[in-house]
Structure 1
Amino acid sequence: MSKSPVIVGAGFSGAVIAREFAEAGHDVRVIEARSHVAGNCYTERDAETGVLLHVYGPHIFHTANEDIWNYVTRWGSFMPYSHRVQTTVGEKVFSLPINLLTINQFFNKAFRPDEARAFVAEQADGTIIDPQSFEDQALSMVGPDLYEAFFKGYTEKQWGCSPTELPASILKRLPLRFNYDDSYFNHPFQGIPEHGYTPIVESILDHPRIDVQLNTVFDPKDTDDAHVFWSGPLDGYFDHKLGRLGYRTLDFHHFREEGDWQGTPVMNYGLRDVPYTRITEHKHFAPWEEHEKTLCTREYSRECGPDDIPYYPIRLVDEKAMLSEYVDLARATENVTFIGRLGTYRYLDMDVCIKEALDVAETYLTAHSEGRPIPTFVHDPL
């Protein structure tokens, strides 16, 4: 590397790439606009309650990739944690994902698995052969009653549009179970860092060849010919010259109480007339700790404005068309590689971010040693 590469963003993507470069013997600069590392995984202690706060919403590490699990646990202690989610619909509380208990509670039945499977099949809309929208997918899976209670209102709040406008693929990855398994994820490796995600990312970045600069806004026009790894929004790199890609953002309203407020880490609110999507109770993400007080967060989803933190790429028809134009523009730009959720405009879990960051680092180091250019996108956004 003729000049130290510049990594924009000190979340998992940027930190992993920086560490790989440093361990390969190269100096690297990490530039972060915020006052802290770890990106949206950032955790900190709440001064009033002592509870470990997931500042930008709850993050549960889960993966089926043993190599990635071994990688992330190299940087700190992870505690066993199996995520559970409940949902309030009207005056009743149900278990999610939809499982045998949910079905029996909702329909006031005592089905065995085969009976529940047959019953739900009767409820489902068998005329929908090739579902294209979220609503079609839901109706073809569970029928109108379960759809209205558990999916329709929540989805309208989360995405700010009708489920008829969303692709079926959003729902295809959600499980429907005919047993009493209420674990939210089915990956074999699951956990939460004992002391939060911030020390994990700090440990990854703790290398003498890594220079971390916080509270620093990077100007893409001032690269000094160094290769840039950009984990910010793809459209932001080009100052939104083709327009703004669509994102949803989140507003977090915290409140503190005595004792245990809701008895579960996450309580969804499925009906449209409740303005927030869910309430998280943060101390339940660290069941190995004890706290007399508790810290909870009401979470509201809305359209992302210019000054907001982007969380979820929308990727509807208009966004996909604009994305294609930005990808063409990016590929015509030298000395930059776009990485991570924002840089590739894709929803990525933490384990995928780490896996892709390792791929990017390997690709760059190999290309540099062989005198070849690195691709603008190691992972295709389209």
Structure 2
Amino acid sequence: MQFLMVGAGLSGAVIGRQLAEHGHDVTVVDRRDHIGGNCHTERDANTDVMVHVYGPHIFHTDDEEVWQYVNQYANFLPYKNRVKTTSRGQVFSLPVNLHTINQFFGKTMRPDEAHAFITEEQADTSITDPQSFEEQAMRFVGRDLYEAFFKGYTIKQWGCHPSELPASILKRLPVRFNYDDNYFFHKFQGMPENGYTDMITGILDHPSITVKLNTMFDRNMADGFDHVFYSGPLDGYFDYELGRLGYRTLDFERFIYDGDYQGCAVMNYGEEDVPYTRITEHKHFSPWEAHERSVCYREYSRAAGPDDIPYYPIRQVKEKALLGEYVDLAEETQNVTFVGRLGTYRYLDMDVTIREALDTARASLDAIAADQDLKPFFVAPI
């Protein structure tokens, strides 16, 4: 069969490779001049630093099959994400851990003492069923830690007060009563030695795969193929005829520094009067390399406009209602499957994106073998 992959990011590359290995012809198109989507990495010509062009991507997973899959195409080296945050004139470790708690309150508590202090003295125990981000934070860590580390950052990141956001967002941010400052807790964590673009190049390197860059997708292109796997914006496929789904986007203020700018890869800024959310220093994402100079990004978050790169789906009540209407449209569409972060309007980590791509490819191959139609969605967006 002849398949068209719209988007040369992880979803299109992984699905395309699986189909190609089973004898099908695959064409991959992307509007950009490079593969890799928002995972794209490249060497900076001035410093030789490997730069995460669209912001840092750190690979972490408990999915052993996915870990083995990416290691087929790249040499992953150990990397632990240790985030710092500047607040009230001091630098603290995130996620909130025993060192953060002791430093913030000027104490030397043991784990059990800190646990009792936070849960009994700081946490707002009157909140029994947190409904908002703010209530969840108050219930977890209390007002002082919430206002120092979460409130201002969240207002800048999402453009609204934490009381307007669902509690589920904060479930990604653990509190630890030990000195473990590893941001993630997954079994497998690392970075590809030569960057993500090199890895995705390897995935797409198959004689039955053709890649066309600087190519804008048009629905008429589907006429030359048996089926389309579409990883672009779901609303964009339908030319936004029902309206635009809401996203947050990021602006990067890139600068070069002679030396080591901040001594870590990620420094958050939790106070609302600092306009950026964080500064990332990209040479620290490759700690096995040595560079005298440094490439840094100041990150600013704002509402995405029509010409912006969509990063984070908002998925509030209004957006979910519009999403439902687009899903109904998609369910009536023939010979196209919507995949990935944009195609299903969901925030996805890289490992989940790859897992869903592998599962989608396998389910598609099974449907082909059974002479059945391929589904519009193999993972429900709602």
- Band the TM-score falls in, shorter-chain normalisation: over 0.9
Q: 1:354 matched to which residue of 2? A: 354
- Is the partner of 1:94 in helix, strand or coil? strand
Residues 343-379 of structure 1: CA deviation (Å, up to 9, x unaligned)? 0000000000000000111111110111111111100
Post-superposition offset of 1:226: 2.7
The Cα of 1:127 is off from its aligned counterpart by: 1.1
What is aligned with 1:302? 302
Pairwise mapping of residues 264-303 of structure 1 onto structure 2 (< 5 A)?
264-303=264-303
The aligned counterpart of 1:19 is: 17
CA distance in 1, matches of 2:190, 2:88: 32
Amino acid of the residue matched to residue 181 of structure 1?
D
Q: How does 1:38-57 map to 2 (within 5 A)?
A: 38-57=36-55
Given candidates 89, 113, 124, the residue that maps to 1:115 is 113
Letter matched to residue 260 of structure 1: D
Which residue matches 2:312? 312
Output the CA distance in 1 between the equivalents of 2:7 and 2:358: 15
Residues in 1 aligned to 2:185 and 2:170: alpha-carbon distance in whole angstroms: 16
CA–CA distance in structure 2, aligned partners of residues 158 and 164 of structure 1:
14
1:221 CA displacement: 3.4
Amino acid at match of 1:32: D
Q: Which piece of structure 1 moves more, 252-261 or 203-212?
A: 252-261
Q: Which runs of 5+ in 1 are unaligned?
A: none
> Aligned ranges for residues 1-382 of structure 1 at < 5 Å?
1=1, 4-121=2-119, 122-224=121-223, 226-382=226-382
Distance across 2 between alignment mates of 1:172 and 1:213: 40
- Residue 183 of structure 2 aligns to a residue whose secondary structure is coil
Paired letter, 1:271: E
User: Which secondary structure does the structure 2 equivalent of 1:202 belong to?
Assistant: helix
Q: Which amino acid aligns with 1:96?
A: L
CA distance in structure 1 between the aligned counterparts of 2:107 and 2:309, rounded to whole angstroms: 44
SS at match of 2:221: coil
Deviations 1:319-360 (A, max 9, x none): 011011111111011111000000000000000000000011
Compare 90-99 and 218-227 and name the one that shifted more: 218-227
Partner Cα separation in structure 2 for residue 262 and residue 81 of structure 1? 18
What is the one-letter code of the residue matched to 2:220?
A: K
1:351 partner amino acid: D
SS at match of 2:115: helix
How does the TM-score come out when normalised to structure 1?
0.99
| Distance (Å, rounded) in 1 between the aligned partners of 2:371 and 2:305 | 41
Q: CA separation in 2, counterparts of 1:278 and 1:143?
A: 23
Pairwise CA RMSD = 0.7
The 4+ residue runs of structure 1 with deviation greater than 6 A are none
Letter in 2 for 1:212: V
Q: CA deviation at 1:172?
A: 1.4
Give the Cα separation in 2 of the matches to 1:329 and 1:252: 35
